[in-house]
Structure 1
Amino acid sequence: MSIPEGAERATVAAGCFWGVEHLYRKHFADKGLYDARVGYIGGDSADPSYKAVCSGNTGHAEATQLIYDPARLSYTTLLEFFYRMHDPTTLNQQGPDRGSQYRSGVFFHSPEQEAVAREVTRKANEQWWGGKIVTEILPAQEWWDAEDYHQLYLTKNPHGYECPSHALRPFPELK
């Protein structure tokens, strides 16, 4: 997909990427989200495959890259949603999915995104998660799209596997 002029990119990892992509699309499709792609980031191998990433040997995380209109949808809103929709307190794990590929991470694309990520994480840690957040906050490295059959997986397979820890938590607004 070509990125519309003025659009921005956000990249998050929150366990199995199928559910993450699905929840972002479901909640933000009509609020300024242009696209959500699943793929791999944060590792050290070139052109990783799903099989290689699942081995845990590439260093990559299963991740979701969001393309959005910052005039309609803020990075802060996307990150607050991120902390509501998964468990950021489990190291290298979401529900029954275990391994470094299932880690929690925010991969920032600018110094401004880094500042927002650190502030939202601080607030979520204090107000929602009791100081237990283990989410990595790192500069975005090269992005690799996952194979085509992973894109829109839960739309194409409505009864497919969805990590049980991917659920929107009814936390109060962050202050």
Structure 2
Amino acid sequence: MRSLLVLAGSLALGACQPAADAAETIVAAPPAERIARETGELKTAIFAGGCFWGVEGVFSHVKGVKSAVSGYHGGAERQARYDLVSSGVTDHAEAVRVVYDPAVVRYDELVRIFFSVVADPTLKNRQGPDIGAHYRTALIPIGAEQRAVAGAYLAQMEASGKWSRPIVAKIEPARTFFPAEAKHQDFLAKNPDNRYVERWDRPKIAALERLYPAHYRSRFQRG
């Protein structure tokens, strides 16, 4: 019984939830020196950076993004469930799979937006009020070109002096991405009055519009 109570407590603490004792910093990240050389058809990339609701929400407002799907990356299929992932007992990260048109927005531009308004690259295993390895911040590039851009940008961020603490965001090898349950998809569009959304995610979208007006799309692109 005690172990069940402990697990229940960890589930409650691990889920995306509002809190008043943490703050997030918006940083105008530098333009990438290593520009993504992408042409042709739609591309896919995966980003992990805290609760997937906000990651999905921001990318769903970026011009050129065709879909943003919340899910789980880095663990086994049998454990790819919100109750398990949010408890911290799996190897997954909450992540978002982004499909985008490189003729409209390049991978390096998505990475810059990500580290400007979505995820603080100096926080290890947390973002905002959400704490645990499943909330780690990672770029998950797909293919050699994205890997080259991701590695160069992390190094550029470290050297830029924009952040007062060391960059701890990582690059993770691409593994199977498991879409999250239906209730987590398009969460901001379906739950605009959710307390967590109002406290943590709306400010990120406002920052996207303010810092990157050329990339901002007012319409939410449903995944």
Partner of 2:122: 89
In 2, Cα distance between the equivalents of 1:155 and 1:24? 13
Partner of 1:77: 109
* TM superposition outliers: structure 1 runs of 4+ over 4 Å: none
Q: Kindly indicate whether residue 165 of structure 2 is the aligned counterpart of residue 146 of structure 1.
A: no
Q: CA deviation at 1:47?
A: 5.2
Would the alpha carbon gap of residues 123 and 130 (structure 1) be closer, same or farther in structure 2, given more than 3 Å must change? farther
More strand by share: 1
- Is the partner of 1:139 in helix, strand or coil? coil
In 1, Cα distance between the equivalents of 2:126 and 2:73? 16
Would the alpha carbon gap of residues 70 and 40 (structure 1) be closer, same or farther in structure 2, given more than 3 Å must change? same
The answer as to whether partners of 2:54 and 2:200 remain within 8 angstroms in 1 is: no
Aligned residue among 66, 85, 92 for 2:98 = 66
The structure whose Rg is larger is 2
Q: Kindly indicate whether residue 89 of structure 2 is the aligned counterpart of residue 54 of structure 1.
A: no
TM-score by length of structure 1 reads 0.86
Partner of 1:8: 43
In 1, Cα distance between the equivalents of 2:41 and 2:120? 31
Partner of 1:157: 191
Partner of 2:150: 117
- Is the partner of 2:103 in helix, strand or coil? coil
The amino acid that maps onto 1:8 is: K
Q: Deviation digits for residues 102-130 of structure 1, max 9, x if unmatched?
A: 10001111111111001111222222224
The answer as to whether partners of 1:35 and 1:67 remain within 8 angstroms in 2 is: yes
The answer as to whether partners of 1:83 and 1:124 remain within 8 angstroms in 2 is: no
